[in-house]
Amino acid sequence: MNLLKDTWYITLRDLRARIRMPVFIFMTLFQPILWLVLFTQIFKSLGGMLGPGGSSYLQFFAPGVLVMTVLFGSAFSGFGMLWDIDTGVLSKMLATPVTRISVIAGRVIATVVVLLIQALIIIILALIMGVHFKTGAPGVLFTFFLLSLLGLGFAAFSNGLALLLKRQETVMAVTNLLTMPLMFLSSLMMPAALLPGWLNTVRQINPIDYAVVGARDLISNGYIWHDLWLSLIVLAALAVVGVAFGTLMFRTRAE
């Protein structure tokens, strides 16, 4: 009971702090719009290469923007933890009877909540721009579930990384080193059929690709259960590993 209450209060604290930053609200709204509009313009001429069916690049890329937004948003979640470490907020909290694990859980949940709001904005925008959602509202909810698993895994991992390294510079370097290849070594921007052979092999061990394939199926192709089950299993495993890492780091590295 205390676990739930404490997690709730810390989630609330985090969300409230974000809402009060005008720059944050602006970026939260603006970033997905920018990516959706900018990238679909850049790669517009690729639309014709997407094979039979003649679907547009926008239709192809919209699920990718969702995954990209969640990946970057969650991978940088640990910077809030770093701030709490540096300002002494974390150690002050830990000297109270607060349920230990709520301190990291609240942050991770707040991150996922914000990302889902961003995802919703992207979906509304995509609808306006003419993206056809093949599986309708249930499919969108399914997509949200996949994105939540992805966000949960990376946000917990990022908070764990912050606790492990405890320095802005190193956390930043490691985060960049991880997120960029994860994004490009997948079919997020380029259809699998157009990727070189080695990359097509590599993407099969990239959890981001499973999120992209899952979201793309739900939005553009329909319920392809073979893909969707795989996405669910891989992303659930990612969430478990991320949360386990974050928890372990919190237990051993938080003071």
CA atoms within 13 A of residue 243's CA, in its CB half-sphere: 18
Residue 134 or residue 253: which is nearer to other proteins going by CB? Answer: 253
Asked if 250 and 101 touch (Cβ cutoff 8 Å), the reply is yes
Residue 93 or residue 199: which is nearer to other proteins going by CB? Answer: 93
- What is the rounded CA–CA span in Å between residue 70 and residue 228? 18
Least Å distance, CB 16 to other proteins, is 7
Determine the residue type at 168.
Q
Residue 53 or residue 88: which is nearer to other proteins going by CB? Answer: 88
Phi, psi torsion values for 78, nearest 5 degrees: -65, -15
Residue 91 or residue 176: which is nearer to other proteins going by CB? Answer: 91
Least Å distance, CB 255 to other proteins, is 5
Residue 6 or residue 217: which is nearer to other proteins going by CB? Answer: 6
Least Å distance, CB 174 to other proteins, is 14
- In sign, the C-alpha dihedral spanning 226, 228, 233, 238 is positive
Which residues contact other proteins by CB under 8 A?
Answer: 2, 5-6, 9, 13, 16-17, 20-21, 85, 87-98, 166-167, 253, 255
Residues 6+ away with beta carbon under 8 Å from 53: none
Asked if 186 and 71 touch (Cβ cutoff 8 Å), the reply is no
Q: Which tokens go with 246?
A: 């974050």
Residues 88, 94, 115: CA angle, nearest 5 degrees: 75
Residue 101 or residue 194: which is nearer to other proteins going by CB? Answer: 101
* 137 to 27, 51, 104, 129, 218: CA distances (angstroms): 26, 27, 32, 17, 10
Least Å distance, CB 122 to other proteins, is 26
Least Å distance, CB 96 to other proteins, is 4
Residue 87 or residue 201: which is nearer to other proteins going by CB? Answer: 87
Least Å distance, CB 123 to other proteins, is 29
DSSP character string of 34-65: HHHHHHHHHTGGGGGGS-TT---HHHHHHHHH
Q: Which tokens go with 242?
A: 């991320």
Least Å distance, CB 245 to other proteins, is 18
